[in-house]
């Protein structure tokens, strides 16, 4: 298959690369060549070209952190901080997913919306309910998106309607992983302790064992001052929040890395451990604003060589559009520079775009850029409504990034397969 | 005329008011009654009702501050602070409006976009070019929107291509006002010294005289630390930035109030003077983020009784959608609370909505709410894409406010006249 258009992606160095009217040659979902039409080898001269004319083609975006069951109340209840918000809005909603009929309806809307969004891949929290989680994974598999999904574990500090015993949490996790083993091509399970306050030490350690070397693990880290205080009380043995995870075997070496959402208040010591354990940070700027959490030190993470991707964190963030998160990330980094640390240079456009594509892409393998050997995740963007009169592709892309909600998508490919 | 739907507006106290399937009765552009269909008086029983079914109807939004000539580069060049940004991007673009053919093309795009936006009214900066400013005003008049427009004055500290002599600035302002006098129904001139660094003391004082009791005045205030330092140097006589305007006769009592954009760094003393001179603050949160300006103390303004509206500040802000500014205003107020002042309670949804409708509406007369005697500015909102399954109108509205870019408008009325 050959797809042609104006290619915009990030290089390994994190700069923006623009290739005007170039062809992407795809074999079995993998990019085998990128060149102008003239440069196509003779063997491909007679192949049909899917020519998208003057459209922009960008890599599929990656949502590193979101909660599928919370999609039902996105854009609502943005008037609290984390812990009150969980008890008031989140836990009651998540409890509803015990009812598989409710889950079916709600997850259908979520999967439809994610499919229509600019994201081709996502790392998703479900709820603690095994049946509903498998249902969600079935639907995601059907959509053609490529996702990691976690059945959530929580055996303490929740409501009566949304809690497991330690044993049932471990049992159901094992059973769920068994089901997943042979069921999916594109959808993978990820171990998902909600966060330290929701999981007893025993549960955490068992989950670390279950994770072993084959599974990834996702959770929340250092999001809100009150949450951090609470973790300190709960884990007197630990020198910090991430260290508490580490001491409970969450960060053991595995083929699939750990993802920690937020990291708003990670200090130098926590940064070192993030780096040492090869943890991906899921930066969720909109969520951090909406829950009054604060501004994460993203410049410092990047300087330390920590890998940072972007997350919508639905429903603490309200928009599924990861480019909106990229814009918010730039904005927050400017305020961080202004108010918190004049040595932390604001993020550049290219860095934010890289955090939406290439950096989190590495979590999935060779994903998130247009290079030989990379999986062909592509969005065909119609930016005509914004950019009718602009020739400069760099400017077209820049404006599209800021105003992508005003544009539309002509097509969406995941590993070379057209899903929209 | 009678229009029917789900009415959502702000009360005088600033709370959100919801009236399910109510009728707005309009006579000569003014609301004469609001009631259910059953309660319509006999004299109206046979009138045709424009029934918008289950749509939301909200007051037209008001953009208190934007630059029409900068629309051409919105979403571009967001990598500098104010003064560098003006010299690098803004002044070169504004210089192009000397060419009336260029102005015609560029302003057409701007007016089309503003007409299609959620705003029914705006307070607009043009450029220093009289002819292009009149052209813009002609186009806005034609659109049916109701706007104040300013021919910009600047006689110092600009580029050779974008500067006037003091005399020519005064002369052309007088001539421009003469032209405006009999030419427009809906479009009004407003005196527009760009900001203190662009206007000599002599020019400022003459503009104060020209303003007299009949015109409003708009300018910029306390946006960026370097700008504020510069004003201090330029005006050693003044005790502060606003005081410099005051001492140069800008804030003299007039039938039409003053609007000052930004006010990010206004201290207690400046707040007192804002209040004393009945100045409207145009809060432009997106712009304040993009230019790394900072976070304005909006809670303090509101507590002091200062009137605050929202501005897109195109092109330092990139989105014409004033609801996006409302969402950003809430977000910034949360960060202000978190990092700057724990006594400044974050803005509530109702307050942000009021800053988009009712508060700035008072600048235009009785505008911005659905009450007897108010001008009938109405947006008919189709929120079906978001809210198909929600009955609760308050929740529908809340989600619409956060995600309005995903919704569409069925119709737009300004003073009872359907313009879209």
Query: One digit per residue, pLDDT tens: chain A, 420 residues?
Result: 999 999 999 999 999 999 999 999 999 999 999 999 999 999 998 999 999 999 999 999 999 999 999 999 999 999 999 999 999 999 999 999 999 999 999 999 999 999 999 999 999 999 999 999 999 999 999 999 999 999 999 999 999 999 999 999 999 999 999 999 999 999 999 999 999 999 999 999 999 999 999 999 999 999 999 999 999 999 999 999 999 999 999 999 999 999 999 999 999 999 999 999 999 999 999 999 999 999 999 999 999 999 999 999 999 999 999 999 999 999 999 999 999 999 999 999 999 999 999 999 999 999 999 999 999 999 999 999 999 888 999 999 999 999 999 999 999 999 999 999
What are the structure tokens assigned to B295, written together? 């976070």
CA distance A291 to chain B (A): 8
A152-202 confidence digits (pLDDT tens) = 999 999 999 999 999 999 999 999 999 999 999 999 999 999 999 999 999
Greatest Cα pair distance, chain A, in angstroms, is 68
- Smallest Cα–Cα separation from A77: which of B6, B348, B385, B354? B348
**B264 membership: H or E segment, kind and range:** none
A334 vs B292, B395, B398: nearest CB: B292
Q: Considering Cα of B95, then B96, then B99, then B103, what sign does the dihedral take?
A: negative
Most B CBs within 10 Å, among A74, A335, A346, A389, to test the B interface: A335
pLDDT of B125 > 90? The answer is yes
DSSP sequence for A161-220: TS---HHHHHHHHHHHHHHHHHH-SSEEE-BEE--GGGS-HHHHHHHHHHHTTT--EEEE
CA distance B254 to chain A (A): 37
Distance CA A286, CA B171 (A): 49
Q: Quote the Cα angle for B228-B230-B232, to 5°.
A: 70
pLDDT at B85: 96
Contact A292 B338 (CB under 8 A): yes
What is the ipTM, given to two decimal places?
Answer: 0.97
User: Does the N-terminal peptide bond of residue A315 adopt cis geometry, omega within 30 degrees of 0?
Assistant: yes
CA distance A340 to chain B (A): 9
B298-314 confidence digits (pLDDT tens) = 999 999 999 999 999 99
Most A CBs within 10 Å, among B71, B338, B387, B404, to test the A interface: B338
B289 vs A331, A349, A405: nearest CB: A331
B405 vs A292, A338, A405: nearest CB: A405
User: How far is residue B320 from each of residues A67, A231, B100, B250, B313, measured CA to CA in Å?
Assistant: 30, 43, 24, 28, 8
Pair A103, A132: CB distance under 8 Å: yes
pLDDT of B388 > 90? The answer is no
Pair A211, A252: CB distance under 8 Å: yes
Chain A residues touching chain B at CB-CB below 8 Å: 74-76, 78-79, 289-290, 292-295, 318-319, 330-331, 334-335, 337-340, 346, 348-349, 386, 395, 398-403, 405-406
Most A CBs within 10 Å, among B314, B331, B386, to test the A interface: B331
Chain A residues with beta carbon closer than 8 angstroms to that of B401: 75
pLDDT of B389 > 90? The answer is no
- Smallest Cα–Cα separation from B335: which of A345, A340, A73? A340
For helices B322-339 and B393-402, the axis angle rounded to 10 degrees is 90
Phi and psi based region of residue A157 (left: phi greater than 0; alpha: psi -120 to 50; beta: remaining): left
For helices A393-402 and A322-339, the axis angle rounded to 10 degrees is 90
Distance CA A198, CA B118 (A): 43
CA distance A23 to chain B (A): 27
- State in Å, rounded, how far the first CA of chain B is from the last one: 16
pTM of the model: 0.98
- Smallest Cα–Cα separation from A100: which of A67, A69, A58? A69
Greatest Cα pair distance, chain B, in angstroms, is 68
Pair B375, B416: CB distance under 8 Å: yes
What are the structure tokens assigned to A203, written together? 């549960």
CA distance A282 to chain B (A): 20
User: In terms of CA atoms, which chain A residue is nearest residue B75?
Assistant: A399
Distance CA B381, CA B404 (A): 9
Average pLDDT, chain B: 97
- The residue with tokens 């053991």 is A252
Chain B residues touching chain A at CB-CB below 8 Å: 74-76, 78-79, 289-290, 292-295, 318-319, 330-331, 334-335, 337-340, 346, 348-349, 386, 395, 398-403, 405-406
What are the structure tokens assigned to A391, written together? 């020739």
Distance CA A235, CA A201 (A): 9
Average pLDDT over residues B305-331: 98
């Amino acid at each position: 298959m050959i797809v042609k258009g104006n290619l915009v992606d990030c290089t390994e160095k994190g700069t923006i690369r623009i290739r005007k009217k170039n062809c992407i040659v795809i074999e079995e979902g993998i990019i085998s060549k990128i060149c102008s039409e003239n440069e196509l080898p003779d063997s491909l001269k007679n192949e049909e070209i899917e020519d998208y004319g003057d459209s922009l083609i960008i890599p599929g975006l990656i949502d590193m952190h979101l909660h599928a069951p919370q999609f039902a109340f996105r854009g609502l209840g943005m008037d609290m901080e984390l812990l009150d918000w969980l008890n008031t809005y989140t836990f009651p909603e998540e409890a509803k997913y015990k009812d598989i009929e409710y889950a079916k309806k709600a997850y259908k809307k979520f999967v439809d919306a994610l499919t229509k969004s600019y994201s081709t891949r996502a790392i998703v929290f479900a709820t603690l309910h095994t049946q509903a989680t498998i249902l969600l994974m079935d639907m995601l598999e059907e959509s053609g998106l490529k996702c990691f999904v976690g059945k959530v574990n929580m055996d303490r500090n929740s409501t009566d309607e949304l809690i497991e015993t330690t044993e049932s949490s471990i049992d159901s996790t094992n059973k769920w992983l068994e089901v997943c083993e042979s069921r999916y091509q594109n959808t993978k399970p990820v171990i998902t302790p909600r966060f330290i306050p929701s999981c007893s030490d025993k549960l955490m350690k068992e989950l670390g064992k279950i994770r072993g070397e084959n599974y990834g693990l996702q959770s929340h880290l250092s999001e809100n001052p009150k949450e951090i205080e609470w973790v300190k009380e709960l884990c007197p043995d630990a020198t910090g929040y991430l260290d508490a995870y580490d001491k409970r075997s969450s960060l053991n070496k595995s083929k699939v890395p750990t993802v920690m959402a937020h990291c708003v208040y990670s200090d130098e010591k926590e940064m070192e451990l993030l780096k040492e354990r090869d943890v991906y940070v899921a930066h969720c700027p909109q969520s951090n604003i909406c829950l009054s959490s604060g501004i994460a030190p993203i410049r410092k993470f990047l300087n330390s060589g920590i890998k940072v991707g972007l997350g919508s964190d639905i429903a603490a963030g309200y928009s599924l559009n990861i480019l909106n998160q990229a814009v918010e990330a730039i904005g927050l980094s400017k305020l961080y520079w202004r108010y918190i640390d004049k040595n932390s240079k604001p993020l550049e456009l290219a860095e934010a775009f890289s955090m939406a594509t290439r950096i989190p892409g590495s979590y999935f393998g060779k994903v998130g850029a247009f290079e030989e050997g990379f999986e062909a995740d592509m969005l065909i963007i119609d930016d005509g409504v914004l950019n009718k009169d602009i020739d400069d592709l760099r400017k077209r892309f820049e404006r599209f990034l800021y105003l992508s909600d005003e544009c539309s998508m002509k097509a969406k490919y995941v590993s070379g397969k057209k899903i929209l």
